[in-house]
Amino acid sequence: MKLHKVFLAASLACLASAASAGTYDGIGGGQIPDNAPTNPLVVTFNVTEAGPLASLSLTMVGLRHSWAGDLIATLSAPNGTTVDLMRRPGSTTPNGVGDSTDFNGGQHRFIDGGADLAAALLALPPTGSLLFGDFAASGLFGAAVNLNTSFANAPLFGTWTLRLSDNALDDRGSLIGAALTVTAVPEPSTYLLFALGLAGVAALRCRRKA
């Protein structure tokens, strides 16, 4: 392999490594307390990576509930920044009951660029179940929530917290667990090495031409 290719390969490898994602399994799970907005099911994630956040996604594993519109899910960063993942999906009024279809196990990932959750639920028959999918986070009345932008200034290192609450009587649910995937912004020194690698390539090519 020529020397300039070695420079470039090493720089690209370092950049990719610095921006690699880490996935953290949540601590917690079980029954979601019925009609208990102030007593949510709590799942925590102990993130050990440092640096500014580039992107994240959260996957709920084994989410079950017989009335999807009862649920509110939020994610909080170590500095207290809290963002909606879903807020009574399908509700069109402050006191609306939301969509009546079910979550019935499977995996539901919340990620920027995902599908509209309320629309996916509304497309099901009245007794249907939403089993799998990638969904965009959303707030009240389905308002779009951009996770990467909302957490852009939040630190990665520390305890992240998922809170999942039931907000109406009778219908009940549970969650087996969750996983948080985060990607850090590469450190400035990594960009410097990448730039030096490119500079080395340019210098070697100029020398060859001379």
Mean pLDDT for the chain overall: 85
**Model confidence band, residue 202 (pLDDT cutoffs 50, 70, 90):** very low
pLDDT at 210: 54
Tens-digit pLDDT profile for residues 46-96 = 999 888 899 999 999 999 999 999 999 999 999 999 999 999 999 988 778
pTM of the model: 0.81
Measured distance CA(50)–CA(202) in Å, rounded: 33
**Residues facing residue 129 across a β-bridge:** 102
The torsion region of residue 202 among left (phi > 0), alpha (psi -120 to 50) and beta comes to: alpha
Measured distance CA(41)–CA(3) in Å, rounded: 56
Domains and their CATH numbers in the chain: 21-187 (2.60.120.260)
Higher pLDDT, 116 or 205: 116
